Structure formats: structure tokens, C-alpha cells
Amino acid sequence: MKQTVPYSAVAYLQCEGKDREPTVTLVASKSRVAPLKKLTLPRLKLMGALIGARLGRNLINLLNMEIHQLHMWSDSMIVLNWIRSSAHKWKQFVANRVTEIQSLTDPAFWSHCKGKENPADPPTHGQTVVNLSLSRLWWKGPAFLISCGQEEESNDETVDENAVEEELKVSEHLTVQLTTECETVEPVLDLQRYSKLKTILRITAWIQRFAGNTRSTTKRHGELTAEEILQAEKYWIRVTQHQSFIEDVTLLKAGKMLNKDSKIRELRPFLDESGLMCVEGRLQQSDFSFHQQHPWILPAKSRFGELLVQHTHQNLMHAGVRDALVQLRDTYWILRGRQLVKGVLSRCCVCRRFKAKPVQQVTAPLPRDRITESPPFEVTGVDFAGPLYVKVSGALTKAYIALFTCAVTRAVHLELVSSQSTEHFLLAIKRFIARRGLCKVIYSDNAKTFKRAEQDSKQLWESIKYTHLLEYFSDRGISWRFIAERAAWWGGFWERLVQSVKTCLKKVLGRASLSFEEMTTILTEVEATLNSRPLTFVNNDLDEPQPLTPAHFLVGKRVNSATQAASSCKWNHNPEPRGDDQEMALPAVPHDKMLEQMAEGLSVGPEVSSSL
């Protein structure tokens, strides 16, 4: 088994008390296991020096006190030679670590100590707890730490020149002399300090006029001309091309071919009469202007290109990417121009203000009544929709839809009422409870009709005449709850179904006028359609189950789905009566046999007759 060799570093803190007596205390230590790849001993010593430099710098940042100086010691003269020399002359392994050490510490404060006086040496050999606890070298460090000075390097230890030269980087130098006639174009302005192209062009034009007036006897005065603005624009095109394509410009001036790795080689560039690079293109025979046939070349990233795109974007009334790109390509060919235009337009303050989207409100958790398992319509939301116009005795009158929806199963029940009065609403509730069963909780908004209905809710049960229902509902009541006023979004689970009902009626009825009975029939069909809507994902695989609908909770299947013929259907009614439902129990009679007996005019039996 291969034995691993560790390397370590130890840090001490020297302090002076009130009596000016220095004390040395162990602060921290770090140990590492040498990598699996075999390293020479000087390289391991260098890695120990590196973790020592890191440890010292971290302690300075962590200790809440003023540290006057950081002194470093190593028992390897080779490592000290590396640290005190320039890092670029060593091989990559040594150069990387020497660079980091020199950035963390001052090479002038690196000194040599003997191996016997190095407290970082015992951890590399392994120590027992007893020996380590009794080691003064470990807890107090070497004696020269008390003097707060650097130990003079021992002259009896020499540097292994072979080990030092082994890490020297072998470099080959190739000197190439290139003579060109390309003049260097220096920008007269710092484009980063300006935000508008128009300002830069005018300042440049004024500078060029001043320079021309100093060299010529004919002086120019007055406002800037269009020709001067164009010359200023050409100047910045030349500056941009020289900054990005200096080698290509040099080769074109020398009449040579561009290099194979040139970014603009495929554009077949040439120099126009102003010495600017243009695209050759294939429109030489067209009637376009010269620069529409041969646009100037600009790099993908340049400050002048950004200002040019911004100027074009503003002149086009902040149009989009395509409009700006088309306008620019009349005169310029920008490498990766679409990407540059998108980047500039995304930073346009005006466009960002108009395209800004409001912060999306974080959706609150669903109420407990919405997610607690319960029978259909045990927790119900109610709302009115309308008005609708129906025919009554040949005249059009208003009618309204009372919508009841289950908060858990999302089933819906629709009742057509002739008005929004409390009396008609209570009648609608009676019909709803008679068909769907008793509700425990009803949610509604703060309409006046519903507030009045809450006050009259006690009278609702007095109008129910059936004894078996009174016994069943005697110890049960309805809890009526209102949502907050002027907060319609609290009733979203019924408002969404109101929208679905209105959408169906608009598409089916249009402007048709129906009687009250016809409208009731249409609403019943709409109710069946909404209760057959899928609540889960509709799969494309035949082996996957059918999607769940609200009707599955009500009748066990989709309302508008195909069913078996009555003659082949076997149906048992209340096969196991229980509890209070015994008096309503019917004997188990096959459905087809019941139909035959009814067709012959015979009674099913005395028990059935008495129950009916």
C-alpha cells in the first residue's frame, strides 16, 4: 500500500504586554496529505509554504486586532529561492504557487529556519498526544520568535542548484521584424464619456476644423456643414476599424490576401477612396448608391457601433430590431449586427419604461375549505349572473341565473330565477338542496340579496314539509360566510364558472329570445356540459384512464357520455339499506325485469307500492 506524505504549516501570534515582554502563542495549524501524483520534496515544501501564506492571510482577516507584520519561515532554501525570484521563470506548477504566495505575503519577510527548529515538521511525522502536549516547540515555537526578528539564514545549508534549475522554464524566442506603412490612428476623444453620437460627431468636426484652420491660410467660419459631419463620421469609422482590424487593414494596403483566420475574410473586403474597409458584395450592377452596394465594415463590439445603433433607433422613433437593422445596413455592415442591435435596444430607457411589466402578486395558499376532502356541494359558492331576457306571454322580461358551485369538486348547479329578490333566491336554494343535498358552508359576495337571505335562512327550513328530511337536518345547519367587501377576487372559484356559463350562452344563443322553460332547458344542458369538463390532464394513450370530471363525483360518470342500453343494464337499487334510510329501501329488482312488469301494467310488489 502506498504511503502518503503530509505537509503542514503552523501560525503563532507574538504579543507585547504592558511590561513590554513579548509572548508567543500558538494560534492555528493546517495539515494536508500529499496528492497521489508523486511530487518532489521541494514541491511538497512549496505547497506547505502556500498553505502557510493562506493561513497567515486568513488569520489577519479574522483576528479583530491590528497586526503589524507577517513573518514567514521555511526550512527549504530551494523554496525561498523560488519565492524571492520572479514567478514567470519557473515551470507552471511552481510559477502558479509562487505567484499566489507573492500576492499574499511580502517575499522580503520570508526567512530560513533549521529543520530541527521548525514546529511544522513534527505533524508531518505523526505525534502522540502525550508527546505533543509536552512539546515546547509546538506550543511556544522556536526561540527566535521571541526576538520578533528574522533568524539569520544558516550558511551551512547550501542551495541545490540542480533542484532549482530543474524547475526553470525552457522558453524559445522567435523574433520577427514586420515593417508596415499603416499609420496608427489615435482617437481624439474617449467615447465612453459620451452618450450621443450627434455630440461626438459635432465635437470631432469642430476639432478637425480648428486643426485645418491652423494649417491653412483659408479659414472656415460659421456653422458646421454636412461634409464636415461626414468627415467626422469617417474618422470614427477609421478609428474603429484600426482598433479591431489593424492586421487586415495593413494587408489590404499592401495588396495582400487576408489571413485564413480573419473574421472578415468571407466578406471579401476592400479599401475605398477614403481608406475605409467596405464589403465587396454582389450588387455592383444595381442602381443603389455606392455605400448601399459596399457598406462599411464595423466590428461586433465597439463603442462607436453602440452609439450608432442607439442614434438609428432614436431616429426611427424607437422602432424594433428589424427596422433598426435594415436602416443600418444601408451604410454599415456590422458583424453579428442583430445581436448588437438587440443588446442596445434592451438597454434603451424609453423602451424599457413602456415595455415594463407590473410585479406579479404572489398567489396566496388555497383556503382550507377548498382542499379538504368532502362530499359534493358540502362547501358551496353562490352568485348571480345576468340579466337574461326571456319571453313571458309574448313580452320580454328579465331573468337571472343563480349559480351554485362546489368548492372542492368544482361541480356546478344552475337555477333560473325570475328576479334577484330574496324570495326567489330562497326558492332557488330549496330546489338546489332538494337535488344536491344539504350544504354545511355557503360562500357568497356582499350583495344585498345574500345579506337579506342570511337573515331569513331560519325560515327556509320551516317551509320543508317532509318529516324524514326534518329529522335528518334537525341537528345540522348552514354556515353562511361573506367574502370581504370590494374584493371580488376572493370569490374566484365561482366567478370563473360564471364566465364559462356566459361564454356558452353567447355562443349558443347569440341574440335569440327564448321562453322561460326553453332557457331553463338550455341552462340545464350548460350545467351538464360544465360538469363533464375534464379536471385532469387528457392523455393521448388509450391505456391511460379517462380524465376526471365533476360529474364523476355526482353520478359516477360523465353526464354526456354514451351509456349501455337499458335492456342489457343490470341495476340494483339500495342493495344494503342502513340506518335511517331503511324506510326508503327498495328490494333489489333487475332493471330489465322492472321494465317488463311496468309494461304489462303489473305492480312490482306490495313493498314497492307501499314505499312509493
Give a yes or no: residue 571 inside a domain: yes
The last residue of a domain, from among 511, 531, 551: 531
163-204: pLDDT as tens digits = 666 666 655 544 444 444 445 677 888 999 999 999 999 999
CATH of the domain at 309: 1.10.340.70
Give a yes or no: residue 381 inside a domain: yes
The reply to whether 483 and 583 lie within a common domain is: no
Which residues are CB-contacts of 347 (< 8 A; sequence separation ≥ 6)?
Answer: none
390-434: pLDDT as tens digits = 888 888 888 999 899 999 989 999 999 888 777 787 788 888 888
pLDDT in the model for residue 442: 84
pLDDT in the model for residue 373: 86
The reply to whether 286 and 147 lie within a common domain is: no
The reply to whether 496 and 577 lie within a common domain is: no
Give dist(CA 528, CA 146) in Å, integer: 95
The last residue of a domain, from among 298, 321, 354: 354
The reply to whether 346 and 382 lie within a common domain is: no
pLDDT in the model for residue 476: 55
In this structure, the number of other CB atoms found within 10 A of the CB of residue 364 comes to: 7
Residue 27's SS3 state is strand
The reply to whether 83 and 197 lie within a common domain is: no
pLDDT in the model for residue 64: 79
For cell 331569513, the residue is: 456
Grid cell locating 41: 520534496
Give dist(CA 163, CA 483) in Å, integer: 85
- Single out the residue of 149, 74, 147, 150 nearest to residue 112, CA to CA: 74
* Rg (the chain; Cα; Å): 46
| DSSP symbols for 115-172 | GGG-TTSHHHH---HHHHHT-HHHHH--GGGTTTSPPPPPTTS---HHHHHHTBPP--
**Cβ pair 358, 384 in contact under 8 A:** no
Give a yes or no: residue 293 inside a domain: yes
Instruction: Name the pTM for this structure.
Output: 0.42
The reply to whether 260 and 320 lie within a common domain is: yes
CATH of the domain at 58: 3.30.420
Of all residues in the chain, the percent with pLDDT exceeding 90 is 18
Query: 311-320, 437-446, 594-603: which has the highest mean pLDDT?
Result: 311-320
The reply to whether 456 and 576 lie within a common domain is: no
Give dist(CA 36, CA 199) in Å, integer: 63
The last residue of a domain, from among 298, 323, 354: 354
Q: What is the average pLDDT value for the chain, to the nearest integer?
A: 78
| H or E element at residue 523 | helix 516-531
The reply to whether 97 and 208 lie within a common domain is: no
CATH of the domain at 522: 3.30.420.10
Give a yes or no: residue 441 inside a domain: yes
The reply to whether 345 and 435 lie within a common domain is: no
Which residues are CB-contacts of 554 (< 8 A; sequence separation ≥ 6)?
Answer: 376, 409, 411, 531
**Owning domain of residue 598:** 564-612
**Cβ pair 46, 53 in contact under 8 A:** no
The reply to whether 388 and 504 lie within a common domain is: yes
Residues in the chain: 612
The reply to whether 237 and 331 lie within a common domain is: yes
How would residue 494 be classed by pLDDT, with cut points 50, 70 and 90?
Answer: confident
Grid cell locating 167: 524547475
Over 60: is that where the pLDDT of 583 sits? no
**Cβ pair 244, 302 in contact under 8 A:** yes
Give a yes or no: residue 452 inside a domain: yes
Of all residues in the chain, the percent with pLDDT exceeding 70 is 79
Give dist(CA 608, CA 612) in Å, integer: 6
The reply to whether 324 and 254 lie within a common domain is: yes
Please count the structural domains in the chain. 4
Residue 246's SS3 state is helix
Interhelix angle 303-315/321-328, nearest 10 degrees: 110
For cell 353562511, the residue is: 480
Give a yes or no: residue 109 inside a domain: yes
- Single out the residue of 279, 261, 259 nearest to residue 269, CA to CA: 279
* Mean pLDDT value of segment 327-345: 92
Give a yes or no: residue 47 inside a domain: yes
How would residue 94 be classed by pLDDT, with cut points 50, 70 and 90?
Answer: confident
231-268: pLDDT as tens digits = 999 999 999 999 989 888 889 888 888 888 888 888 88
Handedness of CA 28, 33, 39, 41 (dihedral sign): positive
Over 50: is that where the pLDDT of 582 sits? no
Give a yes or no: residue 50 inside a domain: yes
End-to-end CA distance of the chain, in Å? 94
Cα angle for residues 586, 589, 595 (degrees, 5° grid): 115
**Cβ pair 83, 102 in contact under 8 A:** yes
